[in-house]
Chains A and B, each alone.
Chain A
Amino acid sequence: QKEVEQNSGPLSVPEGAIASLNCTYSDRGSQSFFWYRQYSGKSPELIMSIYSNGDKEDGRFTAQLNKASQYVSLLIRDSQPSDSATYLCAPQNDYKLSFGAGTTVTVRA
């Protein structure tokens, strides 16, 4: 069983604050790591990918990866109400994704 654990939610943050999402994974063969955003009743959409240790920034999103610790995180800066969604962590091994249960983020206006 390839386990992916995400911090339990829901996570409530005020507008303009930083939302911090964490994810640990058990499969050491995981090569690529993805963060998907899923609005209620909708399909997941990719927001970030990261392949090597360190940080990767894309707009208000920053992904961090530490393969030795089997840890990946996502920071959302200047949180907006439109960021209210469930965020899914998905390590990939051999072209197959394993998903965590997700962390639901609510941004308070």
Chain B
Amino acid sequence: DADVTQTPRNRITKTGKRIMLECSQTKGHDRMYWYRQDPGLGLRLIYYSFDVKDINKGEISDGYSVSRQAQAKFSLSLESAIPNQTALYFCATSDRLGDTQYFGPGTRLTVL
């Protein structure tokens, strides 16, 4: 089984809808991250969490919110989806050393 899982893997939704992307990990890592990837722009950090009670904004947090329900679970929400949030979303984890980040398989989100 994969160490970092993301659900759903693909999602098509309409403008204005609320949507949640979920990330779970079995690596026992404290640190979790959400990124989005757009063609030609690389990955950009949306939110990150260094433990269950710690939530931090990344460089592009506007329009997004997160919830760290447990050490193993980190969810990303779009309260009112808009078309320019169409992208590939990745969850990642790292241990306390914060060295290597391990990525989930990604969620391809399309907002119509």
| A79 at interface by CB-CB < 8 Å | no
List chain A residues, Cβ under 8 A from B90: 43-44
Q: How large is the interface on A (under 10, 10 to 19, 20 to 34, 35 or more residues)?
A: 20 to 34
Bound-state CA distance A31–B11 (Å) is 37
The residue that B43 contacts in the complex, of A1, A44, A49, A95, with Cβ under 8 A, is A44
List chain B residues, Cβ under 8 A from A101: 40-42
Contact yes or no, A44 B45, CB < 8 A: no
B74 to chain A minimum Cβ distance, whole angstroms, is 15
The residue that A44 contacts in the complex, of B44, B98, B103, with Cβ under 8 A, is B103
The residue that B42 contacts in the complex, of A46, A88, A92, with Cβ under 8 A, is A88
User: Given A43-B104, A43-B105, are A96 and B43 neighbors across the interface (CB < 8 Å)?
Assistant: no
Contact yes or no, B50 A96, CB < 8 A: no
Q: Chain B: how many interface residues by the 8 Å CB criterion? A: 24
- A-B contacts, 14 of them at CB < 8 A, read A1-B59, A42-B106, A44-B90, A49-B99, A88-B42, A95-B94, A95-B98, A96-B45, A97-B101, A99-B42, A99-B43, A99-B44, A101-B41, A101-B42
Number of A-B contacts (CB under 8 A): 44
User: Other than the known A32-B99, A46-B100, A98-B45, what 9 A-B pairs have Cβ atoms closer than 8 Å?
Assistant: A1-B59, A4-B42, A43-B103, A45-B103, A92-B98, A95-B94, A96-B58, A97-B45, A99-B42
B108 to chain A minimum Cβ distance, whole angstroms, is 9
B33 to chain A minimum Cβ distance, whole angstroms, is 8
Interface residues of B (CB under 8 A from A): 31, 33, 35, 40-45, 48, 50, 58-59, 90, 94, 98-106
Interface residues of A (CB under 8 A from B): 1, 4, 32, 34, 42-46, 49, 88, 92, 95-102
List chain B residues, Cβ under 8 A from A100: 42
Bound-state CA distance A43–B91 (Å) is 10
B69 to chain A minimum Cβ distance, whole angstroms, is 21
List chain B residues, Cβ under 8 A from A96: 33, 45, 48, 58
